[in-house]
């Protein structure tokens, strides 16, 4: 079927994709004169054949290769789909000091990420109180656009959240345990954060949003481990058959959105001053060493710290509910960010690695991961949908060369939210899910329909491509018992 929105103009010849590895396809840098690197996509043969026919994601990935200072092929993960400037599921590294940083390569929801917790009980302990448990968590975690939470921060307190991240919440506000910090990417704090680079408007939008889900595909999910693929890795991560889990997926809310908005405008204004000509204004960027690049990076780190704190507060609300109804403590397995840029070393070079809708996937030899997981690999979480499964994986050492130590972050959309609402009736979807024993809490049937399973790719296929490509390996599968949707 022809796309309503062709990926390539009628004056362009569609690119030829060449297989260059296990589940890896490439568009050569010779495809277009302005390409500074090739574009590579992790996909199976059928997925590769359809790339560029249903959305603009492949065209966007090719555009990413034109960024000044790009130091390696631009990468598309198996869940890649169209986004703002960069495709969602896009990874790109630029060479420091003069390579660019692009807000579109991080996204509007800075450090949208996934956190996994486990309970020291099996599913039999949860079933009798599941409705009450999900209701209690939903009472403690506001959902929907613009909704505020119980914890409000402003002024100096907001600046400390932005500068110090989760360590400040734990030490000063009693939100969590010190051992949590070990199991959060970067210890829950990106140290280049500067609250002074975050606008007053952004801070105002975030003042009451810690501990809230927001809208869209964000969720809190109580689940059960229903399959183990790697006994050793599962044991190291504290996962056992029949064990109860909690997944939290949300980000920096209105604060992060405003940071991205502010700096896209600012970089669009200065691009030509730096001699940057782009095929798409949504790729607005500036050298990381420039005043604009340095300021954005500091503001992005601050927004990322806010997102870590958001998930930390939600964790405490979930812990409160489990204490009340099951009398047990939730333990943090890991918190992994997507929608960030990180400074990382590759041999003798420092790179700015953009991951939009993609997460780190460091292998067992990496010093970047908690000591407890060395020898196993960094935990990676790939959520499915309300009616399917989510997966726990671990990164591989091979990912460093294959994918800039990156992997996908979810199933990936196939339908827009509007198209999903036209295809699915929310009340019918709610009834179907509840008929399968899944407890659902969502503000409206329309918002529920936006996140219907048919709006997403097959998560099992996405995970299988990831594993066959060698960038991460499966550890366990989680099946949903109850879901609170944003």
Q: Return the CATH class of domain 18-414+456-485.
A: alpha beta
- The tens digit of pLDDT for each residue in 12-31 reads 677 989 999 999 999 999 99
Q: Identify whether the C-beta of residue 356 lies closer than 8 Å to the C-beta of residue 106.
A: yes
Q: How far apart are CA 456 and CA 420, in angstroms?
A: 10
β-strand pairing of 113-122 with 243-250: antiparallel
Q: Identify whether the C-beta of residue 110 lies closer than 8 Å to the C-beta of residue 339.
A: yes
Q: How far apart are CA 437 and CA 387, in angstroms?
A: 10
Residue 65, CA distances (Å) to 92, 267, 278, 294 in order: 8, 18, 10, 22
- Residues whose CB falls within 8 Å of the CB of residue 332, separated by 6 or more in sequence, listed in order: 115, 116, 117, 179, 180, 183, 184, 315
Judge whether 409 counts as a catalytic residue: yes
Q: How far apart are CA 190 and CA 214, in angstroms?
A: 23
- The tens digit of pLDDT for each residue in 345-403 reads 988 899 999 999 999 999 999 999 999 999 999 999 999 877 789 999 999 999 999 99
User: Cβ atoms within 10 A of the Cβ of 375, count?
Assistant: 12
- pTM > 0.85: yes or no: yes
Q: Identify whether the C-beta of residue 66 lies closer than 8 Å to the C-beta of residue 92.
A: no
Instruction: Find, among 27, 34, 33, the residue nearest to 61 by Cα.
Output: 27
Task: Please tell me which residue in 249, 349, 409, 427 is annotated as part of the active site.
Answer: 409
Q: In a 3-state reduction of DSSP, which class is residue 276? A: coil
Q: How far apart are CA 69 and CA 289, in angstroms?
A: 12
Instruction: Find, among 288, 331, 100, the residue nearest to 192 by Cα.
Output: 288
Q: In a 3-state reduction of DSSP, which class is residue 441? A: strand
- Residues whose CB falls within 8 Å of the CB of residue 145, separated by 6 or more in sequence, listed in order: 214, 215
User: Cβ atoms within 10 A of the Cβ of 70, count?
Assistant: 22
- The tens digit of pLDDT for each residue in 69-84 reads 999 999 999 999 999 9
- What are the pLDDT tens digits along the chain (486 aa)? 333 344 665 456 779 899 999 999 999 999 999 999 999 999 999 999 988 888 899 999 999 999 999 999 999 999 999 999 999 999 999 999 999 999 999 999 999 999 999 999 999 999 999 999 999 999 999 887 766 777 889 999 999 999 999 999 999 999 999 999 999 999 999 999 999 999 999 999 999 999 999 887 899 999 999 999 999 999 999 999 999 999 999 999 999 999 999 999 999 999 989 999 999 999 999 999 999 999 999 999 999 999 999 999 999 999 999 999 999 999 999 999 999 999 999 888 999 999 999 999 999 999 999 999 999 999 999 998 777 899 999 999 999 999 999 999 887 656 676 776 787 777 777 777 777 788 888 877 777 777 777 666 688 999 999 999 999 999 999 999 999 987
């Amino acid at each position: 079927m022809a796309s309503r929105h062709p990926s390539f103009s009628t004056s362009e010849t569609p690119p030829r994709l060449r297989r260059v590895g296990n589940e890896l396809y490439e568009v050569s840098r010779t495809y277009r004169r302005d390409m500074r690197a090739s574009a590579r996509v992790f996909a199976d043969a059928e997925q590769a054949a359809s790339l560029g026919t249903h959305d603009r994601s492949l065209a966007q990935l090719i555009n990413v290769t034109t960024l000044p200072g790009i130091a390696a092929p631009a990468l598309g993960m198996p869940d890649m789909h169209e986004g703002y400037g960069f495709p969602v599921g896009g990874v790109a590294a630029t060479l420091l000091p003069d390579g660019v940083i692009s807000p579109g390569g991080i996204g509007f929801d800075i450090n949208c990420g996934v956190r996994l917790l486990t309970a020291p009980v099996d599913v039999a302990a949860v079933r009798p109180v599941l409705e009450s448990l999900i209701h209690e968590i939903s009472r403690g975690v506001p959902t929907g656009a613009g909704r505020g939470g119980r914890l409000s921060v402003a002024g100096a307190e907001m600046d400390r959240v932005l500068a110090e991240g989760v360590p400040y919440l734990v030490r000063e506000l009693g939100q969590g345990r010190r051992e949590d910090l070990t199991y959060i990417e970067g210890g829950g704090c990106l140290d280049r954060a500067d609250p002074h680079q975050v606008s007053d408007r952004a801070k105002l939008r975030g003042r009451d949003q810690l501990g809230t889900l927001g809208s869209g595909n964000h969720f809190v999910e109580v689940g059960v481990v229903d399959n183990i693929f790697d006994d050793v890795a599962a044991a190291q991560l504290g996962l056992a058959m029949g064990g109860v889990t909690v997944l939290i997926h949300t980000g920096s809310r209105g604060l992060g959105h405003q940071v991205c908005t502010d700096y896209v405008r600012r970089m669009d204004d200065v691009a030509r001053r730096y001699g940057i000509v782009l095929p798409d204004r949504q790729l607005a960027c500036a050298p990381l060493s420039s005043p604009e690049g340095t300021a954005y990076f500091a503001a992005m780190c601050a927004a990322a710290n806010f997102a870590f704190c958001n998930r930390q507060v939600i964790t405490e609300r979930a812990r409160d509910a489990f204490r009340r109804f099951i009398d047990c403590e939730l333990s943090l397995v890991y918190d992994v960010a997507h929608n960030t840029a990180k400074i990382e070393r590759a041999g003798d070079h420092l790179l700015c690695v953009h991951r939009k809708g993609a997460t780190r996937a460091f292998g067992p030899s990496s010093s970047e991961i908690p000591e407890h997981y060395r020898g196993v690999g960094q935990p990676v979480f790939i959520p499915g949908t309300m009616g399917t499964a989510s997966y726990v994986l671990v990164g591989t050492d091979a990912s460093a060369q294959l994918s800039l130590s990156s992997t996908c972050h979810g199933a990936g959309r196939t339908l827009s939210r509007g198209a999903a609402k036209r295809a699915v009736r929310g009340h019918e979807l709610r009834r179907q899910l509840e008929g399968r024993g899944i407890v659902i809490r969502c503000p409206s049937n329309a918002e529920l329909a936006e996140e219907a399973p048919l709006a997403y790719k097959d998560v099992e296929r996405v995970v299988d491509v990831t594993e066959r490509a060698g960038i991460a390996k499966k550890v366990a599968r989680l099946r949903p018992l109850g879901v609170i949707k944003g």
